[in-house]
């Protein structure tokens, strides 16, 4: 097993255990559901890359990259949802806003599964270091920039909500 595959498997195991632990703390609390979902996204990403690095062919590497996209695309909306619940802003926003949080990532995910390239990868090559597969960035595609935009917007939104909440909260 390649070293990167081993590290990815250890990451998968860790994120899965943490996700199960968070979920079991209080199964009825939405905050725990979304925190566990973020961890499970990272677990899917790491699990897929366990097989991505050691893939025999480019097609197999591409398959595992597509599976991993569930994790690296969907962690942003789950994290945004988590921070909305944490900051107690959920009641302020209508359910329509929650659909907006998930729509762009779902479009990116569907695009990844129906095409030969993903938002971040145009093709796959063997790493020159001998550590497995790697990909060539898809930076000339509008999908790449939508993915980058999606990450920047979600992180900016989460930081804004959390900063505002931290200033207003009475918790210490």
User: Mean pLDDT across the stretch 32-51?
Assistant: 96
pLDDT of 1 = 58
Whether the pLDDT of residue 3 is over 60: the answer is yes
pLDDT: which is higher, 133 or 1: 133
Residue 93's pLDDT band (boundaries 50, 70, 90)? low
User: Mean pLDDT across the stretch 132-155?
Assistant: 93
User: Mean pLDDT across the stretch 64-88?
Assistant: 92
User: Considering only CA atoms, which of 76, 64, 71, 78 is closest in space to residue 41?
Assistant: 71
Q: pLDDT digit string (tens) for 110-120?
A: 999 999 889 99
- Taking the model in full, what pTM does it have? 0.88
């Amino acid at each position: 097993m390649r070293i990167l595959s081993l590290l990815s498997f250890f990451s998968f195991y860790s994120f899965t255990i943490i996700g199960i632990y968070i979920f079991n703390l209080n199964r009825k609390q939405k905050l725990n559901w979304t925190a566990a979902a973020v961890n499970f996204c990272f677990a899917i990403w790491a699990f897929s890359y366990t097989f991505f690095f050691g893939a025999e062919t480019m097609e197999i590497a591409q398959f595992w990259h597509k599976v991993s996209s569930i994790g690296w695309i969907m962690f942003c909306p789950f994290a945004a949802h988590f921070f909305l619940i944490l900051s107690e802003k959920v009641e302020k926003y209508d359910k329509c806003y929650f659909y907006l949080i998930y729509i762009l990532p779902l479009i990116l995910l569907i695009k990844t599964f129906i095409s030969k390239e993903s938002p971040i990868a145009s093709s796959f090559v063997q790493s020159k270091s001998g550590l497995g597969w790697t990909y060539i960035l898809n930076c000339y595609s509008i999908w790449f920039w939508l993915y980058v935009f999606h990450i920047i917007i979600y992180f900016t939104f989460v930081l804004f909500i959390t900063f505002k909440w931290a200033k207003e909260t009475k918790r210490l």
